[in-house]
Amino acid sequence: MADIAFLLLVFWLVTTTIESDEGVKRQLPPPVPEDLEQQEVKEGDVYNVRTNFRDELLVEKKVLRIDELKAGAKDFLVATGDGILNPVRDNVVLNDGNMMYPERVWVRKGELQILELSYLGAGQTKRAAKVREKIRAIELFGGDYRELPGSALISLQTDRNTSYDLYLQVQNELEAAINELRDELAEAKFNMSYAEMVERYERSKEPSLLDRIMAVRLVYPQRISEAEPRDAGATYY
Amino acid sequence: MGKFNKGKKRAMAAISTASLPDIVFMLLFFFMMTTVMQTEDEMVKVVRPEVSEVYKIEKKHLIRYINIGQPQDARYGTEPVIQLNDQFAEASAIRDWVDVERLTLAESEQTKMWVSLKVDKDTKMGVVTDVKQELRKASALKVLYSANSRERTGS
């Protein structure tokens, strides 16, 4: 009897998990001051995703299904080539005036080193540290890479009558696009998926892992922004 | 007539204690099964969406929950409502709620508070947007859209 009781006890201990919460993580932007002027952004630099009250997606002025969104977002992020894994896409002409995609620009080690010195000379240590991070990334990748322009971002605008499920699926697909690209790069350069690197870092807090994570993030930053909600009764599309 | 031996009293047989551990175990199990960890009652119906890119919050004590969905009790109607702690509230009450909840955390952890939004998947975004706007005003910017995990599709 006592043996059976012990078996049960062990079974119970093993199968019980302390419930923790999981889901999609987001950092909301701080409130915007009302007098803030809208910044001019190149049209090609923004990947516009809109959802309407019928749970339809309008992506870059085209109607898309939810399962096509991830591929679309990946296309947007690497169309002009990241200089490491993804070459410039065939149909993309660089230095074109009306590009549909943000144009990634080369970051070169030699130029960065000069830049770092000039920042250090001027006492701008924060900026110098940022440049240092990029140099570190180039060293880890074993070559220069192309970075996204600062204004490139994915913009999501949701109608008030969109269902929450669709909203979260859109958020999820966009994040999946970025995570897949990160995984591919990490796999190719560090023989480990990005997700695994993050998980290992959480456990070991090993600085070399952090450097690699930051390097991958530099090539594929997560920039998903949500448009400020419009007034109710805004025009449908 | 020595057949009835009156003089020698027979000692009472000792109660066997062999089964005592069993009884204790039974009690232990009874308590284990009947104990429920203290959680807040959900007063709204929430069916969580399923997503592939999940983030797990390990430090549970940093999480505060906002539930949004149809009331469980049909007397409150079918429109989605916001539940803070154990009562229904308007979106405008969120700012005060955040301030109060923040004070329940240690000072060093007040900036690390998470707000977990448990929202029913059929809710319209209007309510959720209002809540998010209020959270931004209250500077509670770390948000988790609570969801179940699933496999990534396609690729």
Confidence of residue B35 (pLDDT cuts 50, 70, 90): confident
Cα A79 from chain centre = 15
Q: Does A24 touch chain B (CB under 8 A)?
A: yes
Distance from C-alpha of A223 to C-alpha of A225, rounded to nearest angstrom: 6
Which of A53, A54, A165 would you mutate first to test chain B, the one with the most B CBs within 10 A? A165
Report the chain A residue with the minimal C-alpha distance to residue B26: A5
Are A23 and B145 an interchain contact pair (Cβ–Cβ within 8 Å)? yes
Confidence of residue A236 (pLDDT cuts 50, 70, 90): very low
Report if residue B97 sits inside a domain: yes
CATH of the domain at B100: 3.30.420.270
CB contact set of A217 (below 8 Å; sequence gap of 6+) = A182
Q: Which residues of B touch A168 (CB under 8 A)?
A: 49, 51, 121, 145, 147
In this predicted structure, what is the pLDDT of residue B9?
A: 67
Q: Which residues of B touch A71 (CB under 8 A)?
A: 154
- If you average pLDDT over residues A37-49, what whole number do you get? 79
Please report, rounded to a whole number, the percentage of residues in chain A having pLDDT higher than 90.
34
Question: Is residue A131 within 8 Å of A25, Cβ to Cβ?
Answer: no
- Closest by CA position to A19, among listed B70, B48, B22: B48
In this predicted structure, what is the pLDDT of residue B29?
A: 84
Q: pTM for the whole thing?
A: 0.82
Which residue do the tokens 């955390």 mark?
Answer: B105
Confidence of residue A237 (pLDDT cuts 50, 70, 90): very low
Report if residue B120 sits inside a domain: yes
CB contact set of A160 (below 8 Å; sequence gap of 6+) = A53, A229, A232, B124, B125, B126, B129
In this predicted structure, what is the pLDDT of residue A49?
A: 92
Distance from C-alpha of A114 to C-alpha of A139, rounded to nearest angstrom: 16
Distance from C-alpha of A64 to C-alpha of A56, rounded to nearest angstrom: 8
Which residue do the tokens 């019980």 mark?
Answer: A16
Q: Does A164 touch chain B (CB under 8 A)?
A: yes
Of A23, A158, A161, nearest to B146 by CB-CB distance is A23
In this predicted structure, what is the pLDDT of residue B1?
A: 52
How many domains does one find in chain B?
1
- Reply yes or no on whether the pLDDT at A149 is more than 60: yes
- Reply yes or no on whether the pLDDT at A181 is more than 70: yes
Average pLDDT, chain A: 85
Report the chain B residue with the minimal C-alpha distance to residue A5: B25
| Dihedral pair phi/psi, residue B33, rounded to 5° | -70, -35
Report if residue B18 sits inside a domain: no
Distance from C-alpha of A191 to C-alpha of A206, rounded to nearest angstrom: 17
Q: Does B53 touch chain A (CB under 8 A)?
A: yes
Q: Does A233 touch chain B (CB under 8 A)?
A: no
Q: Does A2 touch chain B (CB under 8 A)?
A: yes
Q: Which residues of B touch A163 (CB under 8 A)?
A: 121-125
Better-scored residue on pLDDT, A65 or A91: A65
Residues 117-136 of B with CB under 8 A from A: 119-126, 128-129, 132-133, 135-136
Cα A100 from chain centre = 19
Question: Is residue A224 within 8 Å of A156, Cβ to Cβ?
Answer: yes
Cα B148 from chain centre = 15
The parent domain of residue B138 ranges over 44-149
Question: Is residue B142 within 8 Å of B114, Cβ to Cβ?
Answer: yes
Report the chain B residue with the minimal C-alpha distance to residue A22: B56
A153 forms beta bridges with A46
Around A9, how many Cα atoms within 13 Å sit in the side-chain half-sphere?
14
- For residue range A107-123, list pLDDT tens digits in order: 888 888 898 889 988 88
Around A7, how many Cα atoms within 13 Å sit in the side-chain half-sphere?
4
CA distances from residue B110 to A115, A223, B3, B63, B142 in whole angstroms, order as listed: 38, 26, 87, 11, 12
Report if residue B138 sits inside a domain: yes
Distance from C-alpha of A151 to C-alpha of A165, rounded to nearest angstrom: 29
**Rounded-to-10 torsion of CA A52, B155, A77, B56:** 80
Distance from C-alpha of B30 to C-alpha of A68, rounded to nearest angstrom: 52
- For residue range A217-229, list pLDDT tens digits in order: 999 999 898 887 7
Phi-psi region of B30 (alpha: psi -120 to 50; beta: other; left: phi over 0): alpha
Question: Is residue A21 within 8 Å of B57, Cβ to Cβ?
Answer: yes
In this predicted structure, what is the pLDDT of residue B119?
A: 94
